[in-house]
Each structure stands twice: as structure tokens, then as C-alpha cells.
Amino acid sequence: MDATISPGLYPLHRCKTPHLVRHAQGIHNVAGEKDPAAYSSEDYFDAHLTPLGWQQVDNLRKHVHETGLSKKVDLVIVSPLLRTMQTAVGMFGGEEYKNGIDVPPLMVANAGESGRPEISRLNCPPFVAFELCREILGGHPCDRRKSISEYQSLFPAIDFFSGKYFIESDNDVLWVADTLEKDEDVVARGMQFLNWLWTRKEKEIAVVSNGGLLYHTLSAFGHDCHPSMKTELCKDMMGSDPATTNYPGKIPSGLDLPSAEKTCRRRKCQSVSFVFRG
């Protein structure tokens, strides 16, 4: 450890633990691995999870239950894209419905060509969709969202509109076809999201988002840490000796995109926990 870097103490009440999750494998990931031009195809507009992606979600759901994380998380914040919402409700969704219970589900049956049964909202944390934690904006149709009205019919129990900065418009007004969001703008958006996260009363919050947003946001941290910690934050979000709540995902682990703009995105469902202090 560099002698110039000293440890610090922070009051517990000034700390939060965000559990950051990258979505599972989507159909655009598979197509883009074969031909990078597929990322520019409207065929993969707001891409849904693959069967392997759903297996990854099932594995991560098992992990969060075995570690007890499912009982600790007070709130789930999710990027308003189909693949991230499928990942989030698959991970943290509730128990099966019982006779006489009639509440809106987190996900209706076969949402997004999932082939999955309805997912309950019983005994699970609240879910909030938040526009600021979306994938890098522009360029690729797979990163353009559907209308919120359509999402609400698929995910009835996700909150889309109740708070400031949640969702500003029913239609996607942020994504621009011919303009890819600059790295520094992604970082600024990610930091704005984290600043908002700090205002929440919840202490343990799961954030189910996209690789590009997570990578660029985390690159803004770690400058006051040992270089090895900076590498963990910005490269794989996973150290060689991870905490019990961390989850490295399952194969395949190859890059989604060979392009320079998004080399951070990976074909695996990944979860890592941090302490966020203010």
C-alpha cells in the first residue's frame, strides 16, 4: 500500500451500500458478437434477454437469497430498458401468489418474449425506474427505450413517474440516432444519479443498470485509493477476493462490443457492492 494513502473513518449513518448490477445477456449481445453491425439494426430495438440471460438471472436470484441480500435491500432502482427491468424483477421479485391475493404483478407473463410466468410483487422491495441510470445514449437502437405506457402494461408494479428525475416523458426524448453520448457526459449523468441516490432514505439499494453507464460512472471514483482498488472499480467491477455479496456472473464472458466506445460492456450478469459515503 502506498504510504501516502491513508485510511479514513466515516459515521455509519453517513454511508449507504449500493449493490450495482449489470443486466444479463440480451439478444443484441449475441448478434453483436457475431457481427458488430447488428448494434445498428432496428431488429434489436430495446433488446430483451436471451434464454441464457434468464438462466443468469436465475443464478443471481439464487445468490442474493443464499447470501441474505434479498432481505437487506430496501429499494430496487432500475434503468428503464427491457433487459434491465427483466433482470431486476427476476432477481428481486416476490413470492408466488396465494388464493385471495390480488395485487399488480411486477411482470406479466411472457413480457418481452421471455416465456416466463408472471412475477409477483409480494414480499419484495419497491421498484423504481430512473432515467438517469440508462445505458449510453444514442447510436444503437438496442439502447432506445419503448414508451413508458407500454412498459407499464408489462411491469405494472414498477414506479415510473412518482418522483423528480424518474421519467420526464412517455416517449424516449433522450436517445438520438446519429449522436453517441460523450464519455464525460455519461460520467456527469452517472454522478447526477448518485447525488440523487444520496438523498434517498434507504440504506441498502440495488441498482440494475447497463455496463456503459456503470463503467464510466465508476471511473470517476478511486482516485484517493490504492491503484489496485481503482482497477477493480473501472475494469471488471470485481476484485480477486470479492465480498460475499459480489457475484462475478457466468460464462460467456466475452465483450459485447469490439468498438472503442463501449468496450466495457460484457456478456454476463454481474453484481458488486460498494459503500457510498457522503
Q: Cα(145)–Cα(87) distance, rounded to whole angstroms? A: 15
Choosing from 28, 63, 135, 232, which is the catalytic residue?
A: 135
DSSP state of 182: P
**Per-position b or e across 206-218, b if 16+ CB within 10 A of its CB:** bbbbbbbbbbbbb
Contact status, residue 132 vs residue 196, Cβ threshold 8 Å: yes
Annotated catalytic, 135? Answer: yes
Helix (H, G, I), strand (E, B) or coil at 22: strand
Contact status, residue 27 vs residue 48, Cβ threshold 8 Å: yes
Q: Cα(114)–Cα(87) distance, rounded to whole angstroms? A: 11
Calculated CA dihedral for residues 132, 133, 139, 145, nearest 10 degrees: -90
* DSSP labels, 130-171: -GGGPSPPSS-GGG----HHHHHHH-TTEE-SSSTTS-S-SS
Q: Secondary structure of the chain: what % helix, strand, coil (to 5)? A: 35, 15, 50
Q: Cα(86)–Cα(172) distance, rounded to whole angstroms? A: 19
Annotated catalytic, 150? Answer: no
Contact status, residue 197 vs residue 276, Cβ threshold 8 Å: yes
Q: Which three cell numbers stand for residue 174?
A: 433522450
- Would you please indicate which residues are annotated as catalytic (active-site) residues? 23, 135
